[in-house]
């Protein structure tokens, strides 16, 4: 099902990952985000696998670049968001009544404390790394680093929006989903910086030379050279530009490109 080749394959695969897989990974992440580094990497690998299937990217592609392409963030980043949102709910007594005892743990009398900013929470003293990274000590540290405009939000929705704005959460670009499957994969690989171009392969130690085989020995074969400059592709490039000329720039003189 994940490998179905439809017009919006990337969008559909990402949507399915968000709905059916990531929701499972997110379950109780407020608590389990304190797991070992080994398990964190294993969980993140599930998301990475979904990104590779969605984009058709080569396996060695950098993880951050992949996530940016499909508009996802790392699970670690999501866990931080979820912890902060949960802390907000506790602080504002929005949690269920049977958890009301949690409220007293973070709402202290702060009159005797000299905080640089309002709305901060007293840090909890820790002795072990495990407790230091667990719920309460870790999100309180994150909370105290939030801008006042975020921590003083008047509702959960406002808090989430302000948090997303501060952290510049990735969003997918619908334009990337347009086109046919194979062409989309080639475009994606060019954007991700790992395609069959010499410069991309050279950057990942997959090729001995970064220079273009079709030009003189000193011309680097990167995306710009391949799409706009390489003389080997002048004819298909002019055909392409003539077809899209009315969209990008009606006044452009395509024939000048022959001289490049
Ligand atoms: Zn060339």
Ligand 1 center to 216 CA (angstroms): 8
Ligand 1 center to 213 CA (angstroms): 7
| Residues 97 and 132 placed together within one structural domain of the fold | yes
How confident is the prediction for the chain on average, in pLDDT?
82
Which position has the token pair 């790992």? 194
Number of domain units in the chain: 3
Check residue 1 and give its pLDDT.
Answer: 46
Ligand 1 center to 197 CA (angstroms): 10
- What pLDDT band is residue 71 in, cutting at 50, 70 and 90? confident
Query: What span, in angstroms and rounded, lies between the C-alpha atoms of 70 and 176?
Result: 9
Check residue 4 and give its pLDDT.
Answer: 47
| Residues 129 and 65 placed together within one structural domain of the fold | no
- What pLDDT band is residue 118 in, cutting at 50, 70 and 90? low
| Residues 67 and 176 placed together within one structural domain of the fold | yes
Residue 220, SS3 per DSSP: strand
Q: Are 63 and 44 in contact (CB under 8 A)?
A: yes
The closest alpha carbon to 174, from 3, 12, 57, belongs to 12
Check residue 13 and give its pLDDT.
Answer: 78
For 238, counting Cβ atoms within 10 Å of its Cβ (0-12 exposed, 13-18 middle, 19+ buried), the class is middle
| Residues 223 and 182 placed together within one structural domain of the fold | no
Ligand 1 center to 200 CA (angstroms): 14
- What pLDDT band is residue 97 in, cutting at 50, 70 and 90? confident
- Domain range for 54 is 1-72+171-194
Ligand 1 center to 218 CA (angstroms): 10
Predicted TM-score of the model (pTM): 0.72
Query: What span, in angstroms and rounded, lies between the C-alpha atoms of 19 and 172?
Result: 15
DSSP-assigned beta bridge partners for residue 211: 220
| Residues 3 and 34 placed together within one structural domain of the fold | yes
Distances (CA, A) of 13 to 6, 53, 183: 10, 8, 17
The closest alpha carbon to 129, from 121, 137, 118, belongs to 137
Query: What span, in angstroms and rounded, lies between the C-alpha atoms of 190 and 120?
Result: 45
Q: What is the pLDDT of residues 175-229, one digit of tens each?
A: 777 777 788 888 889 998 999 999 999 999 999 999 999 998 889 999 999 998 8
DSSP-assigned beta bridge partners for residue 220: 211
| Residues 85 and 104 placed together within one structural domain of the fold | yes
Ligand 1 center to 236 CA (angstroms): 14
Ligand 1 center to 227 CA (angstroms): 10
- What pLDDT band is residue 55 in, cutting at 50, 70 and 90? confident
Ligand 1 center to 235 CA (angstroms): 13
- What pLDDT band is residue 158 in, cutting at 50, 70 and 90? very high
Query: What span, in angstroms and rounded, lies between the C-alpha atoms of 79 and 77?
Result: 5
| Residues 146 and 68 placed together within one structural domain of the fold | no
| Residues 200 and 189 placed together within one structural domain of the fold | no
| Residues 141 and 154 placed together within one structural domain of the fold | yes
**pLDDT beyond 90 at 159:** yes
| Residues 43 and 161 placed together within one structural domain of the fold | no
Q: Are 138 and 132 in contact (CB under 8 A)?
A: yes
| Residues 134 and 161 placed together within one structural domain of the fold | yes
| Residues 13 and 66 placed together within one structural domain of the fold | yes
**DSSP character at residue 97:** G
């Amino acid at each position: 099902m994940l490998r179905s080749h439809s017009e919006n394959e990337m969008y559909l695969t990402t949507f399915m990952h968000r709905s059916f897989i990531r929701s499972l990974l997110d379950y109780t992440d407020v608590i389990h985000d304190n797991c070992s580094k080994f398990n964190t990497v294993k969980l993140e690998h599930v998301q990475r696998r979904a990104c590779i299937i969605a984009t058709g990217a080569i396996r060695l592609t950098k993880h951050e670049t992949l996530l940016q392409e499909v508009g996802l963030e790392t699970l670690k980043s999501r866990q931080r968001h979820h912890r902060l949102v949960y802390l907000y709910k506790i602080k504002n007594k929005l949690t269920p009544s049977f958890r009301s005892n949690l409220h007293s743990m973070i709402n202290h009398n702060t009159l005797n404390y000299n905080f640089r900013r309002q709305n901060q929470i007293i840090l909890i003293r820790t002795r072990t790394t495990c407790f230091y990274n667990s719920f309460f000590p870790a999100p309180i540290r994150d909370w105290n680093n939030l801008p006042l405009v975020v921590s003083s939000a008047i509702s959960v929705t406002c808090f989430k929006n302000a948090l997303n704005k501060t952290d510049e959460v990735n969003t997918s670009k619908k334009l990337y989903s347009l086109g046919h499957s194979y062409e989309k994969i080639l475009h994606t690989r060019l954007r991700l910086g790992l395609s069959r171009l010499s410069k991309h392969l050279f950057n990942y130690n997959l090729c001995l030379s970064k220079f273009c085989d079709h030009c003189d020995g000193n011309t680097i074969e990167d995306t710009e050279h391949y799409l706009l400059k390489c003389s080997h592709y002048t004819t298909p490039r002019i055909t392409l530009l003539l077809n899209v000329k009315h969209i990008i720039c009606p006044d452009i003189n395509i024939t000048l490109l022959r001289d490049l």
